[in-house]
């Protein structure tokens, strides 16, 4: 019952907000739904990690250890973005633009709903529908400002994502067909995993190729990443935070589910080779664009391509440490990237530009925003004492043991990314601030929820709490590590 309530909260919030004609009421519904979803999400995750999987509505909804982690990521970072959006939207759209405000908050909760459905259903067909739903929920948010560039970004996002999700559907259908010769098998992850040894191996290979390309498009993997920099740079900051910090993880979540079936059916080599190739290509593409990037929101978007590549490398390296590192890095990237996109919203409101060359003296003109951006970038590029350093260390340690040359190439590409992002950061933080730019942080108190991100990044960089390690180990077993 708790799983159904979790989903209903966001869905009811969508309806109530859509019917509201008062801004204060919209914000109240938004806040209450956000906090209720977070509380219930944490409760469900603790229950699953303590007592095992939760099942509801027959076999339609099922939350195991992996789903529980994704529920925590969605509800926690959704809450951070939601609370920041209260102040952000008041600056972006005043009371004369109530329609845009109502659209934003309604679609925000529809976005949360579709992501929660995607990670809590055991039915692979419903998961596909939910992932497609995330596109429909966010495409209008990308074009919320209704400018030429935002319309172009939304159109590109819709077309590329729809092509990708169509390929994912074909892969899902092929995976079901792979077991058809053995009798009727439900299109459920649990059923397909149980029957994996009886699946047609040739069809399984073909299915996973389509799955990786299809859901890899949603995860922002190269070369299907082309929608990501445009969409993430045009969407409002809270939505960019969720798209980059959470939605990409949902795409990889689907890949991980299918990889577990493929590994159990034909062994780990086939999927690992494809993931290593996709990961290395994504790292290379990101490194090229990050070295000469001129737009700080696009810089963060290409960084997401890089980090999704790192997670793919980890899954390709495989074994206990590869999968453990991949899961830990998903969490670390979600925390750091959502933080940075939210801070980028403050920078945009302060400087009214996304061009790196036009942002100067950030530390002097907006000390809190500049300091948060500095710490966030240092965490994102993998410097200690932050969480991404630990997860990247674990991943490339696993890589040096199993695929040394690929790991070495990956490390070299990381150094290029490191140099490119530090160069851009230096240009923004220092120098003479623009004339007539008042000093002081925009939305100072709206940044308060980011203390959660900072605290967790530090905790995961300095120590791994035993309860969290136990949860990740349960997920490793689910994925067959």
Q: What pLDDT shows up at residue 183? A: 54
Q: What is the rounded distance in angstroms from the CA atom of residue 258 to the CA atom of residue 203?
A: 13
Cβ atoms of 102 and 17 closer than 8 Å: yes
Q: What pLDDT shows up at residue 42? A: 96
Contacts of 400 (CB under 8 A, 6+ apart): 407, 408
Rg value, the chain, Cα: 21
Q: Name the pTM for this structure.
A: 0.96
pLDDT, tens digit, 9 for 90 and up, residues 278-309: 999 999 999 999 998 999 999 999 999 999 99
Q: What pLDDT shows up at residue 405? A: 95
Cβ atoms of 320 and 268 closer than 8 Å: no
Q: What pLDDT shows up at residue 23? A: 93
Q: What pLDDT shows up at residue 367? A: 92
Q: How many CB atoms lie within 10 A of CB 148?
A: 7
Q: Which residues of the chain have pLDDT under 70?
A: 180-186, 481
The span from the first CA to the last CA of the chain, in angstroms, equals 31
Contacts of 427 (CB under 8 A, 6+ apart): 356, 357, 359, 360
What does each C-alpha distance from 224 to 124, 160, 164, 220, 476 come to in angstroms?
Answer: 22, 8, 8, 6, 27
Q: Give the domain ranges of the chain.
A: 1-122, 124-267, 278-481
Q: What pLDDT shows up at residue 95? A: 75
Q: What pLDDT shows up at residue 146? A: 87
Q: What pLDDT shows up at residue 198? A: 86
């Amino acid at each position: 019952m708790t799983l159904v309530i979790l989903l209903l909260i966001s869905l009811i919030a969508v309806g109530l907000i859509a019917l509201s004609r008062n801004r204060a009421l919209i914000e109240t519904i938004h806040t209450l739904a956000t906090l209720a979803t977070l509380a219930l999400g944490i409760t469900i995750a603790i229950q699953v990690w303590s007592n095992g999987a939760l099942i509801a509505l027959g076999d339609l909804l099922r939350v195991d250890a992996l789903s529980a982690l994704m529920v925590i990521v969605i509800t926690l970072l959704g809450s951070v973005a939601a609370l920041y959006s209260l102040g952000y939207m008041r600056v972006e759209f005043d009371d004369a633009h109530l329609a845009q405000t109502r659209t934003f908050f309604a679609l925000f909760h529809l976005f949360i709903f579709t992501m929660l459905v995607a990670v809590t259903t055991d039915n692979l067909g419903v998961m596909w529908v939910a992932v497609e739903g995330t596109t429909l929920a966010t495409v209008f948010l990308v074009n919320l400002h209704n400018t030429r560039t935002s319309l172009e970004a939304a159109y590109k996002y819709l077309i590329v994502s729809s092509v990708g999700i169509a390929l994912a559907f074909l892969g899902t259908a092929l995976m079901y067909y792979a077991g058809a010769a053995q009798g009727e098998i439900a299109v459920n992850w649990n059923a397909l995993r149980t029957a994996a040894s009886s699946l047609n191996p040739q069809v399984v290979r073909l299915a996973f190729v389509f799955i990786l390309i299809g859901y890899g498009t949603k995860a922002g993997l190269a070369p299907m990443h082309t929608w990501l920099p445009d969409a993430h740079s045009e969407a409002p900051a809270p939505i960019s935070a969720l798209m980059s910090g959470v939605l990409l993880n949902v795409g990889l979540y689907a890949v991980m589910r299918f990889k577990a079936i493929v590994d159990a059916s034909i062994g780990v080599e086939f999927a690992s080779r494809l993931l290593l190739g996709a990961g290395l290509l994504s790292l290379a593409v990101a490194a090229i664009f990050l070295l000469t990037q001129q737009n700080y929101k696009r810089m963060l978007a290409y960084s997401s391509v890089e980090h999704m590549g790192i997670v793919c490398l980890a899954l390709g390296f495989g074994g206990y440490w590869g999968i453990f590192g991949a899961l830990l890095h998903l969490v670390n990237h979600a925390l750091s990237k959502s933080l940075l996109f939210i801070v980028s919203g403050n920078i945009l409101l302060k400087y009214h530009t996304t061009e790196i060359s036009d942002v100067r003296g950030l530390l002097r003109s907006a000390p809190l925003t500049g300091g948060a951006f500095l710490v966030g970038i240092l965490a994102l590029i993998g410097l200690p004492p932050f969480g991404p350093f630990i997860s990247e260390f674990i991943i490339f340690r696993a890589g040096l043991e199993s695929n040394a040359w690929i790991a070495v190439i990956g490390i070299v590409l990381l150094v290029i990314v490191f140099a490119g992002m530090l160069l851009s950061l230096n240009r923004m933080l220092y120098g003479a601030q623009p004339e007539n730019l008042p000093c002081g942080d925009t939305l100072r108190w709206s940044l308060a929820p980011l203390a959660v991100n900072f605290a967790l990044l530090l905790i995961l960089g300095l120590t791994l709490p035993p309860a969290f390690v136990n949860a990740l180990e349960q997920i490793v077993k689910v994925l067959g590590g």
